[in-house]
Amino acid sequence: MKTISGKALKYGDNINTDLISPPQYLEKSLEVIAQHAMEGIDEDFTRKVRPGDILVAGKNFGPGSSRETAPIALKMAGVGAIVAKFFARIFYRNAINIGLPVLECPDVDKIRDGDELTVNLQTGEIINKTTNEVYHATPLAAPVMDILNAGGLIGYLEKTYGQK
């Protein structure tokens, strides 16, 4: 997994885990939780998102509880990657651990909803095919890429240390 291409789904600042994964669904299956991803801010999100689309947000994406259902819901809904100015640390780590790429980019304000993007996870380069602009996110470190390439932390540990 080196590049991801898809349509930008643009949101603002301070999108918390209750908005990403509404708490009234937490005791449901992961499939049901994914059907309600981002419902707290966009009731049409799961109808709009297509496999590989790139969620673009502003500052502080994912604050709130440490529940892993927030990044899991986004990944299962089809989000290929998330680009934001910065992430709440626990959300960032949970996303990497479940195999969902997250990149921090200071130029997200230049990206519009619906722009076609290609994100290079290793270099951090984001190409906006709609505007022919290039933005620079913080590239993902080699150990993070190893986890993502294994599909998440569990896959990485199984690959690295073998199954018991």
> What confidence category does residue 114 fall into, taking pLDDT thresholds of 50, 70 and 90?
very high
pLDDT score of 123 more than 90 = yes
| Torsion on CA atoms 18, 49, 115, 149, rounded to nearest 10 | 80
Record the pTM.
Answer: 0.94
For residue 100, give the nearest of 53, 63, 66 by alpha carbon. Answer: 53
Extract the tokens encoding 151: 């599909």
> H/E/C letters for each residue in the chain?
CCEEEEEEEECCCCCCHHHHCCHHHCCCCHHHHHHCCCCCCCCCHHHHCCCCCEEEECCCECCCCCCCHHHHHHHHHCCCEEEECCECHHHHHHHHHCCCCEEECCCHHHCCCCCEEEEECCCCEEEECCCCEEEECCCCCHHHHHHHHCCCHHHHHHHHHCCC
* pLDDT tens readout for residues 37-86: 999 999 999 999 999 999 999 999 999 988 889 999 999 999 999 999 99
For residue 73, give the nearest of 111, 43, 34 by alpha carbon. Answer: 34
Is 3-161 CATH 3.90.1640.30? no
Give the residue extent of every domain in the chain.
3-161
Q: What backbone torsions phi and psi does residue 83 show, to the nearest 5 degrees? A: -120, 130
pLDDT at 130: 98
pLDDT at 152: 94
